[in-house]
Amino acid sequence: MAADTSRIAIPAFGTKGKLWLGLLATVIVAGLAAWGYQLTTGLVATGMRNVFSWGLYIMMFVLFVGLSAGGLIISSAPKFFHSHRYEGFARLGVLVSLACITVAGLLILPDIGRPERLYQFFTSPDFRSPMVWDFGIVILYGVLNLWYLWLLTRRDLAARGSPLALGVDDTDAGRERDRTLMFWTAALALPTAVALHSVTGWIFATQIGRGDWFSPLVAPVFIAKALVSGLGLLLVVSVLADRLTNYEVDREELTSLGKILGVFLALHVVYLLAAERLPHAWANHFEFWAITSGFLIGESVYFWLWTVVGGAVPLVMLMIPSLRKRVSVIFTASLLAVFGTMFEGVRLVFTGYEVANIDLPPGISLGGEYAGITTDIWATAGAYTPTLVEVVVTLGIVAFGALIVTLGLKYVPIQRVDGQYATDGGTKERQ
Amino acid sequence: MTNYGLVIDQERCIGCQACAVSCKQENNVPMGQFWNRVLTEGGDKIDTPSGGYPDDGGSGSLDMQYQPTACQHCENAPCVKVCPVNATYTRDDGIVEIDYDKCIGCRYCMAACPYNARVFNWDEPEHMPEAGTGDVAARPQGVVEKCTFCSHRVDEGLDPACVVNCPADARIFGDLDDEGSTVSKYINEYETDQLLEDRGTNPKTHYISGEMSPGRPQTSDKMESELDDVSPWSDGAEDVPAEASESDSSGSGGSHHSIEGDAAPHVPAVGSGGDD
């Protein structure tokens, strides 16, 4: 096959590209240094203490697990149904998914008090623990993304003589067989994605000790959240890649995915949130307007950032027909959806730790200074502000994810330019 | 099977913090951390009541009680179920314990514990004096730690430090599976509660409120099961503080008014049977 069946988004890094790589490298090095500092001083370098014992790392873990959904689903769902819809997004989507699940997995490392003991997950696992389930599914999902990206691109890599083809030849028979493999990979990817987000939700939803965490709705909400934020991020990245690299986004597909994002937003931020809040508001209040306001009015700034800035505003933008065809509107709405979803995770962790079940004085010993909250070692409620160390470590890991996407655009043929899209397998159907 | 549990008589508790301090001392608990806390039920601050004085038309509703709180050693312990690496586990005798060599410091157990009974070593633990205190090795930075019912003492047939150091005899430790043990008898006889019962954790720590119990029925360091079977606190000389038995044997009729006698107010001055 000819090499022009595929396109590399970044043939070579120009000045801007090199500056971008330099920036990413700087942030990664800064993150590593901050993690090194945190390893020597201990987690006292974070804003976490005994009452509020999970913080930014877990909040961002929740976000990035969700973000890793979009790409894989957008590329595997059409393949599963033998459709060539959204083919232009397929490879980029899996690349973004791979980067996000890598970021999510890495975010756990700085949260662990003794990371050198992580091998205990293999030598002494307790299969009752949702964290063991999640550990397994995150690794499986990461490996699946890596395999899928390679499967989607290996014949094109071979055609280009890239060593990344790992010895695979570019043959017609091989391409034909890969279409079957893609179908079966897609068939595996969809339930794995559902499991990933459900299990991550169950880390919280199984806990009877942390307020609203204990809710059967958490897992479905995590799925909806993943659809919103994952698709949002894919749209953001594809528009950016379209503007900054040789990657070309299909306007029609972009508009169509923008509409789908609107549907996901309506399902997530309007329907599921309402379904979660109404029973509590109804049971806790008596007057009609008290029930109504209990239902509609959130308790914290995170709630508003999530539901209005990250929910209602992008939903309206995507609902108005004259607006939703504009690339700038789709881009802004997607960015807001991702931004808002970040605060959903923030809010989730806060609802678990803000209030102590037993808040009698003097309270709970904090195990370290708790600047700004109390002058002694006791606290009767949780409070949390991330420290600079946490922010820098997190940014370093996110920069590593951005580096994965950037290098993917450089070394992996991220777009097909021929017409043969549809997968084969499952049925004997041919194009 | 042995299944250790604790009864805390809130009617006897005087809020002196002796259990909290002796726990910290015995277990070498780092500065800034407590495994065992004596909480005040009442006002907003420690040792303050709720309500008002009955003067100037006040309600006269002053009310205060103490709630000593440590690991509840739940039967259905969420911390054990969430620990990904089996570092937190339930011993055969029911004590929930942590293997500090296994703990990876993920703090999922702290999220799981509804009682906030667990503490994490956020930095290199600091001890005062530096060499540490008590009979338990220091735990390193980056692991979670908590009350063990003084399992190192229990293994030697001794009651937990908080139990023997309670001057109000408000803490009774024993085998919940033994119907004859004082903990089992008190749970049957008195009105007892478990903390956050609605969470279904089924704690092995039971709180007596309402009617005051006779308290811990022995003065020894040892566990009830280690003492003689019959009326151990009246006939086993080795189980009674030497001074107390001396003052008893001296035949002084007013011995229970002496300081030595006051140290064990529930021990009858005469060598008759137990009180329950």
**Which chain A residue's Cα is nearest to B20?**
A365
ipTM of the complex: 0.93
Distance from CA of B20 to the nearest CA of A (A): 12
For residues A307 and A298, the answer to whether their CB atoms sit within 8 Å is yes
Best mutation site among B120, B124, B126, B147 for testing chain A: the one with the most A CBs within 10 Å?
B120
A205 to chain B: closest CA residue? B112
What pLDDT does residue B253 have? 41
A374 or A363: whose pLDDT is higher?
A363
What pLDDT, on a 0 to 100 scale, did the predictor assign at position B248?
42
Instruction: Give the pairing type, strands B192-193 and B37-41.
Output: unpaired
What is the predicted pLDDT for the residue at B53? 86
**Which residue spans within A95-217 are E strands per DSSP?**
none
Does the pLDDT at position A90 exceed 80?
Answer: yes
Interface A-B: count of C-beta contacts within 8 A: 166
Cβ neighbours, 10 Å, residue A1 = 15
Tokens of B234: 């009246």
Interface contact flag, A367 B30, Cβ < 8 Å: yes
- The verdict on B64 touching A (C-beta cutoff 8 Å) is no
The domain locations on chain B are 4-44+64-208, 228-262
pTM: 0.90
Cβ-contact B36, B16 below 8 angstroms = no
Q: Give the separation between CA B211 and CA A367, rounded to whole angstroms.
A: 36
**Tokens (6 digits) for A219:** 């897992």
- Chain A residues whose CB is inside 8 A of the B67 CB are 358, 360
* CB contact (8 A) between residue A114 and residue B84: no
CB atoms A132 and B84 under 8 Å: yes
Look at residue A75 in the predicted model and tell me its pLDDT.
86
How is A9-54 classified by DSSP, letter by letter? S-SS--HHHHHHHHHHHHHHHHHHHHHHHHHHH-GGGSS--SSS--
Provide, for chain A, the percentages of residues in helix, strand and coil under a 3-state DSSP scheme, each rounded to the nearest 5.
70, 5, 25
Mean pLDDT, residues A188-209:
96
| pLDDT higher than threshold 50 for residue A159 | yes
Token reading at B10? 């809130």
Would you say residue A3 has pLDDT above 50?
no
pLDDT digits (tens, 9 = 90+) for A14-44: 999 999 999 999 999 999 999 999 999 999 9
Is residue B243 pLDDT above 70, yes or no?
no
User: What percent of chain A clears pLDDT 90, i.e. is strictly above it?
Assistant: 84
Position A2 pLDDT exceeds 50: no
Cα separation, A385 vs A372, whole angstroms: 10
- State yes or no: pLDDT of A286 exceeds 60: yes
Question: Is a pLDDT exceeding 90 seen at residue B57?
Answer: no
pLDDT greater than 50 at residue B251: no
Within a 13 Å sphere around the CA of A26, how many CA atoms are in the beta-carbon half?
6
More confident residue, A266 or B231: A266
Q: What is the pLDDT of residue B227?
A: 83
Strands (E), A125-169: none
Q: What is the pLDDT of residue A298?
A: 87
Question: A70 pLDDT band (50/70/90 cuts)?
Answer: confident
Q: Is the model's pLDDT at B160 over the cut of 60?
A: yes
User: Architecture of domain B4-44+64-208 in CATH?
Assistant: 2-Layer Sandwich (3.30)
Displacement of CA A94 from its chain's centroid (Å): 12
- Distance from the B192 Cα atom to the nearest Cα atom in chain A, whole angstroms: 18
Residue with tokens 């205990």: A120
Residue A401 has pLDDT above 70, yes or no: yes
Helix, strand, coil share (%) of chain B residues, nearest 5: 25, 15, 60
CATH number for the region A3-46+53-353+386-416 comes to 1.20.1630.10
Handedness of CA A131, A136, A142, A145 (dihedral sign): negative
Query: Are the beta carbons of B107 and A54 separated by less than 8 Å?
Result: yes
Q: What is the mean pLDDT of residues B169-181?
A: 97
For the segment A224-241, the average pLDDT, to the nearest whole number, is 96
pLDDT at A376: 82
Residue B273 confidence (pLDDT): 42
From CA A97, how far away is CA A90, in angstroms rounded?
11
Can you give the pLDDT at residue B254? 40
Option in B119, B123, B124 nearest A50 (CB): B119
Domain residue ranges of chain A, discontinuous segments joined by +: 3-46+53-353+386-416
pLDDT tens across B29-50, in order?
999 999 999 999 999 999 999 9
